[in-house]
A and B are shown apart, each in its own frame.
Chain A
Amino acid sequence: ETAVFQTPNYHVTQVGNEVSFNCKQTLGHDTMYWYKQDSKKLLKIMFSYNNKQLIVNETVPRRFSPQSSDKAHLNLRIKSVEPEDSAVYLCASSLGLGGAYEQYFGPGTRLTVL
């Protein structure tokens, strides 16, 4: 099956903890993204990776860091989570870099910070 896979589906944690989310795509795409979807459903791009090079970082707090071992994997680490980090984190991939390429999304990881 070719798709974008994310783990875990849900994660509940306390303020100050570190969390890590995994994303893998089997579509053979060159570019991967992390988006944050807030409680109002607004989707905001956090990072783009193209051939393991970070392309876009849209004023994301430093406690967030993307980690990639190869072009099929892009993980997201959050050091010392804060309440405003509660959201759904969506991973996506595309054949090339940028909005004009169709983006394929995973089902998301819902983070709740208590």
Chain B
Amino acid sequence: QQQVRQSSQSLTVWEGETAILNCSYENSAFDYFPWYQQFPGEGPALLIAIRSVSDKKEDGRFTIFFNKREKNLSLHIKDSQPGDSATYFCAASRGYNVLYFGSGTKLTVEP
């Protein structure tokens, strides 16, 4: 059973739009939720993360919205740029235990 689910395998938006990537999880004990960004030919890299005590985390154009009751979260990318085209992985862990990854959403930003 997959612990972390990402509802869309792929998403295409136009440059300047807000891209919204969705994620849900199974284990209500998870308390740390990072998003990793992966470009072709590279390993994933941490983009932004949120802890379950917060419902929102913002870093520049990237914002995580977190809903503990519904066990879901979303990554919003404001003013999307072609350089944001990558695969985005939602992940979850309980404290310092194993990190579980979703299967990723491939974002394409069209100029």
> Which single member of B32, B36, B87, B99 contacts A45 (CB below 8 Å)?
B99
Judging by beta carbons under 8 Å apart, are B95 and A98 in contact?
yes
Instruction: Please give, as numbers and ranges, the residues of chain B lying within 8 Å of A105 by CB-CB distance.
Output: 42-45
Is A74 interfacial (CB-CB < 8 Å)?
no
What's the Cα separation between A41 and B87 when bound, in Å? Answer: 9
Q: Which residues, 81 to 96 on B, are CB-close (under 8 Å) to A?
A: 87, 89, 91-96
Q: Which residues, 62 to 111 on B, are CB-close (under 8 Å) to A?
A: 87, 89, 91-104, 106
Query: What is the number of residues of chain B that contact chain A, defined by CB distance less than 8 Å?
Result: 27
Q: Which residue of A lies closest to B105 (CB)?
A: A41
Instruction: Please give, as numbers and ranges, the residues of chain B lying within 8 Å of A97 by CB-CB distance.
Output: 96
Judging by beta carbons under 8 Å apart, are B32 and A99 in contact?
yes
Assuming the A-B contacts A105-B43, A105-B44, A105-B45, are A43 and B101 also in contact, with contact meaning beta carbons closer than 8 angstroms in the complex?
A: yes
Is B60 interfacial (CB-CB < 8 Å)?
no
Q: Which residue of A lies closest to B30 (CB)?
A: A99
Instruction: Please give, as numbers and ranges, the residues of chain B lying within 8 Å of A102 by CB-CB distance.
Output: 34, 46
Main secondary structure of the interface of A (DSSP, over half): loop
Judging by beta carbons under 8 Å apart, are B103 and A98 in contact?
no
Judging by beta carbons under 8 Å apart, are B43 and A92 in contact?
yes
Is A56 interfacial (CB-CB < 8 Å)?
yes
Is A83 interfacial (CB-CB < 8 Å)?
no
What's the Cα separation between A53 and B90 when bound, in Å? Answer: 28
16 contacts between A and B (CB under 8 A): A4-B43, A43-B101, A43-B104, A45-B98, A90-B43, A96-B96, A97-B96, A98-B97, A99-B92, A99-B94, A100-B96, A103-B36, A103-B99, A106-B43, A108-B42, A108-B43
